[in-house]
Each structure stands twice: as structure tokens, then as C-alpha cells.
Amino acid sequence: MVVSLLFLILLRFTAGILVWLLIIGVIGVIGYGIYHCYMEYDTLNKKGTSVSDVGFTFNLGVYFKLKETWLAILIVLAVVEAILLLVLLFLRKRILIAIALIKEASKAIGHIMSSLLYPLITFVLLVVCIAYWGMTALYLATSGAPLYRISTVNRSIHGCENITGNETCDPMTFSASNTSCSEARCIFYRYNNEGLFQTNLFNLQIYNVIGFLWCINFVIALGQCVLAGAFASYYWAFHKPQDIPFFPVSASFMRTLRYHTGSLAFGALILTIVQLIRIILEYLDHKLKAAQNPCIRFLLCCLKCCFWCLEKFIKFLNRNAYIMIAIYGKNFCVSAKNAFKLLMRNIVRVVVLDKVTDLLIFFGKLIVVGGVGVLAFFFFSGRLPIPNDAFKSPTLNYYWIPILTVIVGSYMIAHGFFSVYNMCVDTLFLCFLEDLERNDGSPEKPYYMPKSLMSILNKKNRPPKSEEKKKKK
């Protein structure tokens, strides 16, 4: 937690340096890959080995001994490198905007520190949803009356030959002395599946799964809308931080529950329907694994791919719709339409900001989880010299278990922190786009964006006419 918080604080001052270092690092790694591929190609070209000498084989290691393989990889890497260089050349200004928004997100979180605690509320609500779903599923699975049958382990014993396992019994009154077999036992067989309720258990389990998916999506949507409302109140405060309302997260939470519950529920329902279709397709694919019809398998594969893409798109659209709901308070459909149109009008900025943020967050998680994991390894393996015995780790036979536990825990904490950061960047970005389209810097419509963004875009707020006259005098 401390490491994640320190990294977010450092982003406020070093975001630009980190982003450019990461971009240069990616270009450098690809450049080294091109050099390595060329050296391998040159070496194999002198040997004269070609594809015709090897033919077709499932041993992939053989292909790395061919010059054509390294030439193909070299061409792909060269194309990627050229695209990246062109992007840097023509989209440098948009990268600077992305860096400025990332820095501003760090400032916003610094002024609204309570936002970092909200993932704990989301986590608790998710645990409640999972627990309720699990308890309901177990209750439905065990809702029938238990059936018991007389059975024995060894039918070769004298008197046990006639026990077939089909005779019912009551464990409360059963006694082996009342039967001819001394080894007879009354054991549980299954739950009774007869009756109207029991015959519809499968349908009830499906209904329970639908409710579970909807609750999970609703809790996530609630968290996104609450954080979006808090960070939007930061952006639209003209004098920061003086105009930021008190307790912005609490105010946004109450406002969301009071006015936007229906919109969040509708957005969660749309996503649930798509997820349910994906589950059905996975079930059909599992059942048809033994099918020999390639057309059916191909059709299922295409449907799974399409609905996977659809789910990702709906998640992206819902996320931005919740931000617009938090800003303007309109219903889900109107907010989703406005968010989609706004993003499409600024598609290049969207792509650049999304990729730069993803790269930075991935790097941040890698540093946090990797650093904590390495420290845990040296601590639990006894390789970290600690003078005080009170903090010294005991010798463990299997120290990988606590190390993995620490790594998983650190990843979950880092994911919670960076999810807040990512939501802050997305909210400020949509507010920034709205600010550009709705305002012009005049006294009646001043820009709300920070001065760092104004300087990049060569924008500024014009003072009122009264102040201009005073300056002239």
C-alpha cells in the first residue's frame, strides 16, 4: 500500500520523465530486436539453410534455425519501429497532453485522498455479492430431502450377498443388527429431485448466476460513478483547490445512490446479458469438443471472439457513460450517446491517452509487485540480514507459499490504487474534452483546465473588460 501510494505521489513530479523513458525504452528494445534478427539472419545466410531443406514440422525450434524466420521477424519489427517513430513525430503534442493529464490526475488524488480508500468499499460489496451467490447456490443444490440407501463395502461377507444398494433406509432408526449383514451401513445417496421445486433447480441456478453477474457489474458501476463524480468536482472547480467541495467522495456517493441508481442498474444489465451469452457459448463449446464438424467449431469460435470484443466495447462505453452521468446527471442512454460522440470526435487523443496511461500503469504495477515480491523472497528465504531478532523471519521449509501470498496481496492492493488513478485520468480527460468544446476562454465561458494544458494548446482565459480597462489606464 505504501509503495503504491509513493509511486502515485512520484507521478505528480516525474510523469513526463517516466513516460518518455518508457517510450524510448520500448523503441530501444525493438531496435535491439532488429539488430539481433539481422545478426541471426546474416549468420544463417552464410550457412545456406532454407525452408525447402526442412519442410513442414510441428517442432517450432527448427524454424528458428532458418534465415527466413529471422528475416520475417526483422521485417515485422522494422514496420512496428517505423510506426512508433511516425507516431512520435506527428503525435508529440497529444503525448504532451496525455502527460499533463496524468500529472493533473496525481494532483487531483492528492487533493481527494479519500478516493484511495473507496476500493475497500467496492471490495467489501463484491465479497458480499460473492458470499450471497455462493450461499444461494448451495441452498438450491441441497434443497431436496436427503435420500439414504443400505450399502456395504464388501459383499463377499456371509449375509451381505443380497445387498444391492437400492434399498432405502433412515439413518436415525437404522441398525446393522436388524439386517443379515453385520457390515451394512446406511449412507447418503443423493438429494430428492422430484417435485415442482426440485425439477426447476437448474433454472433457478441460472437465475442465481444472472443475479450474481448483475450485482457484480452494478457494484463496479457504482464505484466508477462515485469516483467520476468526485474527480469531476475537482476539474470543474475554477479555483483549485479552494472551490473543491468538502467531502467530495461522500457527496458523490450519496448523489449517485439518490439520482443515478437506475442508470447504473441498466448499464449493468446490458453488460450482464452479453456476459451470459459468453457463458452459454463457452458451455456449448465444452459440450461440442468431441464434435467432428469443423463448421460448427469454427462458427462457435467466431461467435466467442465477437462477443468477447462486444463485452470489451460495452465495458469501455459504460465506463465513459458513467462519467457523463456523474457530470451532467442525465440518463444512461443519453450519457452513453454523448460520451461516444465526444470520444469519436477526438479519437486520436483517446488512443494516445489510453495507450500512454496503460503503459504507465503496467509499469507501475510491475515496479510495485516486483519490488515487494523480491523483498519478500529475500525476507522469507533468510537471505536478508536483519540485526533485530524481532523482525527476523523463522526458517521455513516451503517459503514460496508466503512469498506468493505477499505477491498476490500486493497485486490486489496495487490494482485498487491504480484503478482509482485510471478512473481519475479518464474523468479528467472527458472533462477536458467537454471544456474545449463548450468554452472559449471568454469571461462568460472561461476554461477550467489547468494552466499546463492551456500552455500546450496555446489557450488562455481573457480577463473581464473592466480589468482590461484598468490595465490600459
Q: Are residues 86 and 150 in the same domain?
A: no
CA atoms of 14 and 47, how far apart (whole Å) = 49
Residue pair 387/83 in contact by the 8 Å Cβ criterion = no
- Residue 81's domain spans which residues? 1-90
The string of pLDDT tens digits covering residues 175-224 is: 766 666 767 778 887 777 676 666 678 888 899 999 999 999 999 999 99
Q: Are residues 77 and 158 in the same domain?
A: no
Residue at 84 is within a domain = yes
Domain boundary (165, 191, 217) is at: 191
Residue at 178 is within a domain = yes
pLDDT over 60 (residue 51): no
Residue pair 191/147 in contact by the 8 Å Cβ criterion = yes
Give the whole-number percent of the chain exceeding pLDDT 90: 27
Write down the pTM of the prediction: 0.80
Residue at 214 is within a domain = no
Domain boundary (191, 217, 246) is at: 191
pLDDT of residue 355: 81
Neighbour count for residue 113 (Cβ, 10 Å):
10
Q: Are residues 154 and 86 in the same domain?
A: no
CA atoms of 223 and 230, how far apart (whole Å) = 11
pLDDT of residue 196: 65
The string of pLDDT tens digits covering residues 396-450 is: 667 778 888 888 888 888 888 888 888 999 999 999 989 888 888 888 888 888 8
Residue at 454 is within a domain = yes
Residue at 447 is within a domain = yes
Residue at 304 is within a domain = no
pLDDT of residue 388: 57
The string of pLDDT tens digits covering residues 328-339 is: 999 999 999 999
Domain boundary (137, 158, 191) is at: 191
Per the structure, how many domains does the chain have? Answer: 3
Residue at 420 is within a domain = no
Residue at 69 is within a domain = yes
